[in-house]
Amino acid sequence: MPSPLRAGAGDAGTATANGAAPQTRTVADGLAAPWDIAFLPSGEALVSERDSGRILRLPVGGGTPSTVTTLPGVVHQGESGLLGLAVSPTFARDQLVYAYYTTSSDNRIVRFRLDGNHAEAPTPVLTGLAHGVIHNGGRIRFGPDGLLYAGIGDTGVRANAQILASRNGKILRIRPDGTIPADNPFPGSPVYSLGHRNVQGLAWDSAGRLWASEFGQDRFDEINLIVPGGNYGWPVVEGDGDTDGGRYRRPLATWPVADASPSGIAIRSTTMYVAALRGQRLWELDLAGATVRGTPRAVLNGVDGRLRAAVSAPDGSVWVLTNNTDGRGDPKPGDDRILALR
């Protein structure tokens, strides 16, 4: 496998692939520590607020949000709280919305029925995930196979990433009801891949390949192409290190941690968008099949502060979620915001 592409501060541009500056519009503002966005079939969007446990609904195309529900038992400390959202791919039939959040005893995935403006009480789907002040993961997405994938952080306990019996430091794959698919790579286990530090970005390309973003520690953040049963090396390897004779899979792109801290990712056509927190920019990567081509480009570079999520919207735009009110940013009037990138 070729060495991964690397981007540093000197590679940070401000233009898109065609040389034009990115065009954005504000979809919503005044959000408090927002974390994720998920679209309903109607085109309305749901937004999670980490600290409050609130789930908001935005009108089609954006506007003033309304509160759908406040999930009971959400506990916020450090990086924990209400994190990822996902809408059932069969929402028109089952009206189910999924959420990943922290309680006083665990990280868990729940689901609830959303009937019009009424949200029923949530029911557990997956419970007992170790929780912590840091590295809770939290991104959940339905794949093209109709199954639910979840990025689970190591919560600061590095060794768990290499222990198959632990669900932390992994990407998990489960059925919508929480049971384990028969074709998972490790029989009887929800583990889909292991050796992860803190995955917060999951997205599929047009060929159904799963890509993930991962926070490094001191050296390199990563973009990985995920294969069933793959071991991505943490804590033995960070970035493009020794693969131990091929035991560990190499990343397809890396950044120095100061330039990225990559959270949510979105793929539109053959372009991947990576929301960077510490790096305060949106990275664009050109995908060429199962590889990354050329040099990653930085857009929105330092303009909007910390970026938490990038999500493909029904109208073909990419919605980017700022995260300046999360306790680590420098909020400006109107923060936090959702921006639509054309």
| pLDDT at position 203 | 98
Q: Say how far apart CA 175 and CA 73 lie, in whole Å.
A: 24
Structural domain range at position 79: 5-12+31-256+264-274
| pLDDT tens sequence across 234-268 | 999 998 866 777 899 999 999 999 999 999 999 99
Q: Quick check: is 301 in a domain?
A: no
Banded model confidence at residue 11, pLDDT cuts 50, 70, 90: very low
Residue 21 domain-assigned (yes or no): no
> Could you tell me if residue 207 is inside a domain?
yes
CA angle, residues 70, 71, 77, in degrees to nearest 5: 100
Q: Confirm if 237 and 257 have CB atoms less than 8 A apart.
A: no
Q: Check which CATH number belongs to the domain holding 231 and give it.
A: 2.120.10.30
Is residue 53 a part of any domain in this protein? yes
Residue 277: the pLDDT is: 98
When divided into structural domains, the chain yields a total of 1
pLDDT at 22: 77
Q: Virtual CA dihedral for 307, 51, 88, 116, nearest 10 degrees? A: -120
User: Does any domain span residue 216?
Assistant: yes
The answer to whether the Cα torsion of 171, 174, 178, 179 is positive or negative is negative
* Banded pLDDT at 21 (limits 50, 70, 90): low
Q: Please give the pLDDT value at position 48.
A: 98
Structural domain contains residue 288: no
Which two three-digit tokens encode residue 27? Answer: 């979809």
Q: At 155, list the tokens.
A: 């919560």
Count Cβ atoms within 10 A of the Cβ of residue 159 and give its class: 0-12 exposed, 13-18 middle, 19 or more buried. Answer: exposed
Q: Which residue type, as a one-letter code, is found at position 151?
A: G
The pLDDT score that the predictor gives to residue 20 is 56
**Residue 24 pLDDT more than 80?**
yes
Residue 194 lies in a domain: yes
Question: What strand order describes the sheet that includes 338-341?
Answer: 24-28, 338-341, 318-322, 307-312
* pTM score, whole prediction: 0.95
Tell me the pLDDT tens digit for each residue of 259-302. 999 999 999 999 999 999 999 999 999 999 999 999 999 999 99
Encode pLDDT of 36-58 as tens digits: 999 999 999 999 999 999 999 99
pLDDT of residue 198: 98
Model confidence pLDDT, tens digit, residues 170-227: 999 999 999 999 999 999 999 999 999 999 999 999 999 999 999 999 999 999 999 9
The whole-chain average pLDDT of the chain stands at 94
pLDDT at position 4 is 56
* Bridge partners (DSSP) listed for residue 173: 149
- How far are the Cα atoms of 26, 71, 90, 305 from residue 337, in angstroms, in the given order? 7, 22, 29, 10
69-100 per-position pLDDT tens digit: 999 999 999 999 999 999 999 999 999 999 99
Give the CA distances from residue 94 to residues 97, 111, 115, 242, 342, in Å, rounded to whole numbers and listed in that order: 9, 11, 9, 47, 32
CA distance 120 to 70: 11
Instruction: Tell me if 296 is assigned to some domain.
Output: no
DSSP class of 23: P
